């Protein structure tokens, strides 16, 4: 809502400025085009969660968040922009958690070695928390929302102090790559021991190398104002990431390997209807602690009644799956979302019905290595289906999901998730 109001304010300000300075017929058309590109770039920054302030882009992600371990988490962060330098950049943040009473921070920077291929070498030092079992791709585009629904209820974090160096390189317009070498000191904030060869670890060092590739073969790009701009977001998209852990390198304790893959397909139909398909898989082998294994994007809190579990639905999470209920060293999730045409009740009231089905399959070898925490595996297959009615009021809507199949629970109410949704885009 705040983002929307801010954009409206900017548009009104721009409109008033033009009203006070009428455009003459002789105005250079190329200047008009450049102004339009600058305004579009500014709005794009806002949509990505950045507020440009001179040579610095304030990162709105760090202003305020909430989770079960830190409580309220607030701070400041950002990154320098091209007004500072086109060849160098500095980024960082400092936040404070009021419940755990700790500061977290990151400082980093980068320098560009080739403009045509947008090749950057990046360095960073981070002391922060990360959700156990989470897995992200280095090449993911930045996704911003004023609050992250799953984050509200997460309570299983590990602290990490990570030093990293990375290489960001555009192989072609359709193929992006990022490589990173990192050394981390990992300390779970919960009761957990990793047992390996009669030795028990409750903290450990990890040295890892990652290679991530993102391929968008059907997107279209054009040269606009001497810049390559994506003019069509084409599907399907493919993302692949390989991770290798090295024992005894900079004090690392374990050898392990991970392979992660994701593909997204979108079919557009008439009258703004669409169908989205998302497949995510991952496999980890070797001496991999729970911190670096996989959950299946759960988003249900362990409370007795449906109303006590009422919260906000995520974008791609399993709404009926309880937090910390399942972990896997190999897993697959598949999600189908069908968006019906919006109901055009009025110019400002256009709710939209979405049908959703989600499936997950996973397993774990050597489950007895992980001690101090109890969880199940997904080897029998997990299923849930439901619907959303979005954009009922100020971007808010309602979500309903039902858990069925092999992991259907004896108490009928425990299989139901009823939540808010939040969808607001520029």
Q: What is the pLDDT of residues 134-189, one digit of tens each?
A: 989 999 876 556 557 788 889 999 999 999 999 999 999 999 999 999 999 999 99
Bond preceding residue 162 cis, omega within 30 of 0: no
Q: What is the pLDDT of residues 318-349, one digit of tens each?
A: 999 999 999 999 999 999 999 999 999 998 89
Q: What is the pLDDT of residue 43?
A: 60
pLDDT range class, residue 363, cuts 50, 70, 90? very high
Q: Contact, 192 vs 200, CB < 8 A?
A: no
Q: Contact, 186 vs 204, CB < 8 A?
A: yes
**Listed residue (324, 372, 242, 291) closest to 129, CA to CA:** 291
pLDDT of residue 46 exceeding 70: no
Other Cβ atoms less than 10 A from the Cβ of 6: the count is 14
Tokens of 425: 């885009």
Q: Set out the domains of the chain in order of their start, with CATH numbers.
A: 116-422 (2.40.160)
CA 191 to chain centre: 27
Q: What is the pLDDT of residue 223?
A: 74
The whole-model pTM stands at 0.86
Residue given tokens 């299923």 in the structure block: 383
Q: Contact, 62 vs 93, CB < 8 A?
A: yes
For the chain, percent of residues with pLDDT exceeding 70:
86
Tokens of 423: 């969808």
Mean pLDDT in residue range 368-384: 95
pLDDT of residue 299 exceeding 60: yes
pLDDT of residue 6 exceeding 50: no
Q: Contact, 360 vs 325, CB < 8 A?
A: no
Q: What is the pLDDT of residues 75-92, one digit of tens each?
A: 999 999 999 999 999 999
What is the rounded CA–CA span in Å between residue 335 and residue 276?
8
pLDDT of residue 409 exceeding 90: yes
Q: What is the pLDDT of residues 15-45, one digit of tens each?
A: 343 334 444 444 555 555 555 556 666 666 6
Rounded to the nearest 5 degrees, what angle is found at the Cα of 51, between the Cα atoms of 29 and 22? 30
Residue of higher predicted confidence among 70 and 315: 70
Q: What is the pLDDT of residues 195-223, one digit of tens each?
A: 998 899 999 999 999 999 999 999 988 87
Sign of CA dihedral 248, 251, 254, 255: negative
């Amino acid at each position: 809502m705040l983002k929307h109001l801010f954009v409206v304010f900017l548009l009104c300000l721009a409109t008033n400025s033009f009203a006070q300075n009428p455009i003459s017929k002789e105005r250079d058309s190329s200047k008009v085009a450049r102004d339009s590109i600058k305004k579009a770039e500014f709005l794009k920054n806002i949509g990505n969660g950045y507020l440009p302030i001179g040579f610095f882009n304030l990162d709105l992600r760090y202003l305020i968040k909430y989770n079960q371990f830190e409580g309220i988490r607030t701070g400041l962060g950002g990154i320098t922009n091209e007004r500072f330098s086109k060849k160098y950049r500095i980024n960082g943040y400092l936040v404070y958690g009021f419940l755990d009473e700790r500061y977290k921070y990151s400082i980093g920077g980068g320098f560009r070695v080739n403009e045509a291929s947008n090749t950057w070498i990046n360095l960073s030092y981070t002391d922060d928390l990360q959700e156990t079992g989470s897995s992200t791709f280095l090449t993911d585009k930045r996704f911003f929302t004023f609050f992250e629904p799953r984050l509200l209820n997460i309570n299983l974090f590990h602290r990490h102090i990570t030093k990293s160096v990375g290489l960001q390189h555009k192989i072609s317009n359709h193929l992006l790559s990022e490589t990173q070498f990192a050394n981390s000191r990992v300390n779970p904030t919960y009761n957990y021991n990793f047992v390996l060869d009669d030795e028990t670890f409750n903290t450990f060092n990890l040295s890892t190398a990652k290679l991530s590739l993102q391929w968008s073969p059907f997107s279209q790009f054009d040269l606009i104002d001497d810049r390559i701009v994506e003019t069509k977001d084409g599907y399907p998209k493919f993302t692949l990431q390989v991770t290798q852990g090295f024992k005894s390198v900079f004090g690392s304790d374990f050898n392990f390997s991970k392979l992660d893959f994701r593909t997204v397909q979108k079919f557009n139909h008439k009258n703004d209807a669409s169908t989205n398909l998302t497949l995510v898989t991952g496999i980890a082998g070797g001496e991999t602690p729970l911190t670096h294994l996989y959950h299946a994007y759960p988003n249900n809190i362990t409370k007795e009644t449906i109303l006590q579990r009422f919260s906000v639905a995520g974008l791609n999470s399993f709404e009926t799956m309880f937090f910390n209920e399942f972990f896997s060293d190999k897993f697959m999730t598949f999600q189908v979302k069908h968006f019906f045409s919006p109901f055009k009740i009025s110019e400002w009231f256009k709710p939209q019905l979405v049908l959703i089905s989600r499936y997950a399959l996973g397993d774990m070898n050597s489950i007895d290595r992980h001690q101090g925490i109890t969880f199940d595996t997904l080897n029998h297959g997990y299923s849930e289906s439901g619907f959303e009615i979005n954009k009922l009021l100020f971007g808010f809507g309602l979500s309903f999901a039902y858990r069925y199949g092999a992991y259907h629970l004896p108490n009928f109410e425990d299989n139901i998730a009823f939540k808010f949704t939040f969808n607001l885009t520029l």
